């Protein structure tokens, strides 16, 4: 009988993989509380040091094996783990537990690991929360040496080529090694689509499904497993018919990829001659490569949070500037929209001066522009660097999470001060650099006309707009079924924002996930959006939709939908939307 489990899919260009299961022993190490005699303290400390240096050596050796062709992102992940391992502060609390409370070395380290993990788990932001994985992997790596190198050695000799690796957890370093050993896909019990491992899987083109409860107990070594990274489904013990169905889908997807590739150089113009600008979202400077390879007309969202991660101090102006110049160089003349920092109480990083007590609703707390205005020393270097970068290429500055005109006024005053400072220092900047705001809070959408008066462009951040409008925590699995981009309230707020931009003659774009969702794009075009920013991997699929659309027809149908929206029952509304979108 077919066995199926679901998790969080990590879809890559290759969405499906079929191969024999390989169960990898990556279960967390069970460490029992144990004390030592005071006379053993020195020896325990020595054991800890030895494990630490063995762990460092092993990871350096993984780093040394990474081929030159490996994406920079990958080596950066390993480097960041190495940096953590080399950071004296990582194990210092464990040393103190051995010295002062006579814990055994492994129990001291495990105790410290659990408290670190707790801190990360309390973070609301999915990306930062996923940094928990890094801390966890690094400390477990040391633990494995205290316990005799269990994690690293076990499967060294096994042939993993074309296998589907099934594990409790896979670290970024493991991901690189697994890739070199030719794995087809992986499935894990732990982790989510925002974790480093998931980001790596995407960049290495390995489909994966993560977060499958008890996954290691479901599958048998060697049995054929189907991984559908798009749907987040794993199947085993499938009959010949199902297997053939997936093989056929793989062939279809492959054909489709090469078909889409032909669109790279083609213009993004609808069948009735309307131009739609398709832009890329970037996380890291090196993502510019993927943006250009997929024919992006520019970058509609460059998230700068990565600059603040895996470090203890804050990036200074020069570091900001270097990153922005790297992006400008990588984009070869196409424009970039740099979003100012979107960190908050929920997204603490080392070195963030706003160390506030935990709050009940972090998503509603001191986040993004609120934090930046409260902590100008965090914000000012970034503003200076963005302005300075604007002298070297087409740059737009974008402010996240605006909720009031007072807030916008304060930001614009600060930008003006920074401009005067740069001028008095003789530093170049573009005085006409466009300044835009993200519409991510219902209050901002409802006040979009006022915002449009003072801004050069608006960009709709649907990931947060949906969260705040529908009162759904965007990372809470239990309410994710309510997360509906096509909810009438969302459509109204989007329309209000677009109309506000049109009334002032300023561009309105969308940079939330909805912009790259093929199911939503016809409706967005019908609503009047002409700028969509998305993950580079979605650009060609959306271009195909644009090129096949009659936008005038979509506009007519969308207007009609809005007239009838309140009269329709939910199923009729769904049908009417489907009529436009499919």
Binding site for ligand PEP (CB under 6 A): 301, 303, 342, 440, 461-464, 511-512
Which CB sits closer to ligand PEP, 66 or 364?
364
Strand partners, 280: 299, 534
The listed partner (ligand PEP, Mg ion, none) that binds 512, CB under 5 to 8 Å by sort, is ligand PEP
Query: C-beta of 535: minimal distance to Mg ion in Å?
Result: 15
CB of 515 to ligand PEP, least distance (A): 9
Residue 517 or 549: the one with the smaller Cβ distance to ligand PEP is 517
Query: Which helix or strand (DSSP H or E) is residue 438 part of?
Result: strand 435-439
Cα(200)–Cα(194) distance, rounded to whole angstroms? 10
**Smallest distance from Mg ion to CB 461, Å:** 4
Q: What angle do helix axes 72-86 and 41-65 make, rounded to 10 degrees? A: 170
**CB closer to ligand PEP, 197 vs 462:** 462
- Pairing relationship of beta strands 224-228 and 208-210 according to DSSP bridges: unpaired
Output the smallest distance, CB 314 to ligand PEP, in A.
19
CA distances from 147 to 47, 186, 203 (A): 10, 26, 33
- Sheet architecture: strand order including 185-188: 3-6, 233-236, 224-228, 16-23, 164-167, 185-188, 208-210, 8-10
Q: Which of residues 454-483 bind Mg ion (CB under 5 A)?
A: 461, 464
C-alpha span between 310 and 142 (Å, rounded) = 18
Please report where in the chains the tokens 């537990």 appear, as a residue: 97
Nearer to ligand PEP, 19 or 485 (CB): 485
Q: How far is the CB of 480 from ligand PEP (least distance, A)?
A: 15
Q: Residue 234 CB: number of other CB atoms within 10 A?
A: 27
- Pick one of Mg ion, ligand PEP, none as the site partner of residue 303 (Cβ within 5 to 8 A by kind): ligand PEP
Q: Using the structure block, give the residue that is written with the tokens 């614009």.
A: 412
Q: Report the partner that residue 189 touches, choosing among Mg ion, ligand PEP, none (CB closer than 5 to 8 A by kind).
A: none
Residue placing its CB nearer to ligand PEP in the complex, 84 or 520? 520
Please list the residues that pair with 299 across neighbouring strands.
280, 336
Interface residues for Mg ion in 412-441 (CB under 5 A)? 440
Listed in sequence order, the DSSP H helices in 396-461 are 405-424, 442-446, 448-454
Catalytic residue among 196, 372, 520, 581: 196
Pair 346, 339: CB distance under 8 Å: no
Q: Is 196 among the catalytic positions?
A: yes
Within 185-303, strands assigned E span 185-188, 208-210, 224-228, 233-236, 277-282, 299-303
Listing DSSP states for 488-535 in one string gives HHHHHHHHHHHHHHHHHT--EEE-SGGGG-TTTHHHHHHHT--EEEE-
Least distance to ligand PEP, CB of residue 462, Å: 5
Nearer residue to Mg ion within complex by CB, 110 or 440: 440
**What is the rounded distance in angstroms from the CA atom of residue 463 to the CA atom of residue 154?**
41
Choose, from 111, 112, 141, 511, the residue flagged as catalytic: 511
Closest of 272, 270, 268, 279 to residue 457, by C-alpha? 279
- For Mg ion, the binding residues in 92-111 under the rule CB under 5 A are none
Which residue number is nearest to Mg ion in terms of Cβ? 464
Number of residues engaging Mg ion in binding (CB under 5 A): 3
The item of ligand PEP, Mg ion, none sharing an interface with residue 298, based on CB under 5 to 8 Å by kind, is none
With CB under 5 to 8 Å by kind, the binding choice for 338 among Mg ion, ligand PEP, none is none
C-beta of 112 vs 347, nearer to Mg ion: 347
> Which residues is 172 bridged to in the sheet?
none
Query: Which partner, Mg ion, ligand PEP, none, binds residue 511 by CB below 5 to 8 Å per kind?
Result: ligand PEP
Q: How far is the CB of 302 from ligand PEP (least distance, A)?
A: 11
Which residues of this chain interact with Mg ion, rule CB under 5 A? Answer: 440, 461, 464
Active-site residue set = 196, 511
């Amino acid at each position: 009988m077919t066995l199926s489990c679901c998790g969080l899919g990590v879809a890559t260009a290759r969405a499906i993989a079929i191969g024999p299961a390989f169960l990898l022993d990556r279960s967390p190490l069970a460490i029992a509380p144990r004390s030592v005699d005071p006379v053993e303290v020195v020896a325990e400390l020595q054991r800890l040091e030895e494990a630490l240096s063995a762990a460092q050596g092993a990871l350096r050796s993984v780093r040394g094996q990474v081929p030159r062709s490996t994406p920079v992102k990958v080596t950066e992940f390993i480097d960041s783990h190495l940096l953590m391992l080399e950071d004296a502060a990582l194990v210092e609390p464990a040393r103190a537990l051995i010295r002062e409370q006579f814990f055994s070395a492994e129990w001291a380290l495990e105790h410290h690991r659990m408290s670190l993990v707790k801190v990360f788990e309390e973070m609301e932001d999915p990306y930062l929360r996923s940094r928990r994985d890094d801390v966890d992997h690094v400390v477990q790596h040391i633990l494995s040496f205290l316990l005799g190198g269990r994690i690293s050695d076990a499967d060294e000799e096994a042939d993993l080529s074309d296998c589907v690796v099934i594990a409790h957890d896979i670290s970024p370093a493991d991901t690189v090694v697994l890739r070199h050993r030719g794995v087809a896909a992986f499935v894990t019990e732990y982790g989510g689509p925002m974790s480093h491992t998931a980001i790596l899987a995407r960049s290495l083109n390995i489909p994966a499904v993560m977060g499958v409860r008890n996954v290691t107990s479901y599958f048998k070594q060697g049995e054929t497993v189907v991984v559908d990274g798009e749907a987040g489904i794993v199947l085993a013990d499938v009959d010949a018919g199902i297997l053939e169905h997936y093989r056929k889908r793989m062939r279809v997807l492959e054909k489709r990829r090469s078909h889409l590739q032909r669109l790279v150089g083609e213009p993004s113009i609808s069948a009735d001659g309307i131009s739609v600008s398709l832009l890329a979202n970037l996380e890291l400077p090196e993502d510019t490569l993927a943006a250009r390879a997929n024919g992006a007309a520019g970058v509609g969202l460059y998230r700068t949070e990565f600059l603040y991660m895996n470090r203890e101090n804050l990036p200074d102006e020069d570091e900001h500037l270097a990153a922005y110049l790297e992006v400008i160089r990588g984009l070869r003349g196409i424009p970039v929209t740099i979003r100012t920092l979107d960190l908050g109480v929920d997204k603490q990083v080392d070195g963030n001066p706003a160390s506030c007590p935990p709050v009940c609703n972090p998503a509603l707390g001191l986040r993004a522009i609120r934090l930046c205005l409260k902590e100008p020393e965090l914000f000012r270097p970034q503003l200076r660097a963005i302005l300075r970068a604007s002298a070297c290429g087409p740059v737009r500055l974008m402010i996240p999470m605006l909720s009031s005109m007072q807030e916008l006024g304060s930001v614009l005053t600060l930008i003006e001060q920074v401009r005067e400072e740069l001028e008095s220092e003789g530093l170049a900047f573009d005085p006409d650099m466009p300044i835009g705001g993200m519409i991510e809070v219902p209050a901002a959408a409802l006040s979009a006309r006022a915002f449009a008066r003072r801004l050069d462009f608006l960009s709709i951040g649907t990931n947060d707009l949906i969260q705040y409008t529908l009162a759904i925590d965007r990372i809470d699995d239990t309410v994710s079924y309510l997360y509906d981009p096509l909810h009438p309230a969302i459509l109204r707020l989007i329309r209000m924002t677009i109309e506000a931009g049109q009334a002032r003659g300023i561009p309105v774009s969308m940079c939330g996930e909805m912009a790259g969702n093929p199911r939503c794009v016809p409706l967005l075009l019908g609503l009047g959006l002409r700028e969509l920013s998305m993950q580079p991997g979605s650009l060609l699929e959306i271009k195909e939709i644009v090129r096949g659309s009659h936008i005038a027809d979509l506009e007519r149908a969308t207007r009609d939908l809005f007239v009838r929206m309140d009269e329709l029952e939910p199923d009729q509304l769904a049908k009417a939307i489907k009529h436009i979108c499919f």
